[in-house]
Amino acid sequence: MSGDAPTRRVAEVLVGRYRIVSGWRGGRAQAAAFCGQRRVAASEGETLEAAVAEIETLLARNAAAFVAHRRATGRPCAAEYREVLEDLPEALSGPAMLLLHAHRHMGGMAVKIGDLARRAGLPKEEAWAVYRRLGRRLYSELKWPPVKRAAGPRYVLEAFADCSPGPDGELVIGLKPEIAEALS
């Protein structure tokens, strides 16, 4: 199967964060699953139902692998982070990816938000707002268990970063290894 969606679309179905497109190409039934703009699975079959069923089986297998990784490590895997990051709304995606890539290029090490904001070329307040919105989005998309909100804005960052107060009381943020891998 080529990397494109079927040429004659017959059906488009949403399954969670995935969009499954099915149709006919060259007399063969084909289906492709997309997460955001990235194709994550493809199949061919004699019928559209068979092609879509194969895609749904692949997606279920991926979901089971994500759950197994979470049970083993307590955190989402890099592939799961990658899928959520690719499906971010455009208004959040631009500034969030700018900050995350700047953080990754700093080695993913623990940094203060002011240093990170300067590196990304954003005001400190905007960097805080973007990281908080990103954290809330990751918590809801990845279905993390509820967290204690007594820690202030820090709790939402725990979805993708390890945080601790620095010697001067300012929060020091380090990317989790899985999200750093998802960005590479």
What number of H helices and E strands is found in the chain?
Answer: 7, 7
Q: Reply yes or no on whether the pLDDT at 150 is more than 70.
A: no
Q: Residue 1: what pLDDT?
A: 47
Query: Residue 151 pLDDT more than 60?
Result: no
Q: Which three-class secondary structure state does DSSP give residue 175?
A: strand
pLDDT at residue 5 greater than cutoff 70: no
In 3-state terms, what secondary structure has residue 106? coil
Cβ atoms of 154 and 144 within 8 Å: the answer is no
Give strand pairing partners of 175.
161
How confident is the model at residue 8, as a pLDDT? Answer: 59
Which pLDDT belongs to residue 6? 53
Task: Give the span between the Cα atoms of 45 and 141, in whole angstroms.
Answer: 31
pLDDT at 123 exceeding the cut of 90? yes
Higher pLDDT pick, 119 / 149: 119
How far apart CA 136 and CA 158 sit, in angstroms, is 10
* pLDDT tens, residue by residue, 69-87: 888 888 888 988 988 888 8
How far apart are the two ends of the chain, measured CA to CA in Å?
Answer: 27
Residues contacting residue 47 through CB under 8 Å, at least 6 positions apart: 29
Kindly report which listed range (31-35, 111-115, 141-145, 174-178) carries the lowest average pLDDT score. Answer: 141-145
CATH number 1.10.10 given to 78-183: yes
Other C-beta atoms lying within 10 Å of the C-beta of residue 6: 24
Asked if pLDDT for residue 126 goes beyond 90, the answer is: yes
pLDDT tens across 22-75, in order?
A: 888 888 888 999 887 788 889 998 888 888 899 999 999 988 998 898 888 888
**Residue 20 per-residue DSSP state:** E
CA atoms within 13 A on the CB side of 164: 7
For residue 150, give the DSSP letter.
Answer: G
Q: Give, in degrees to the nearest 5, the angle at Cα 152 between 140 and 74.
A: 45
Where along the chain do its domains lie? Answer: 8-73, 78-183
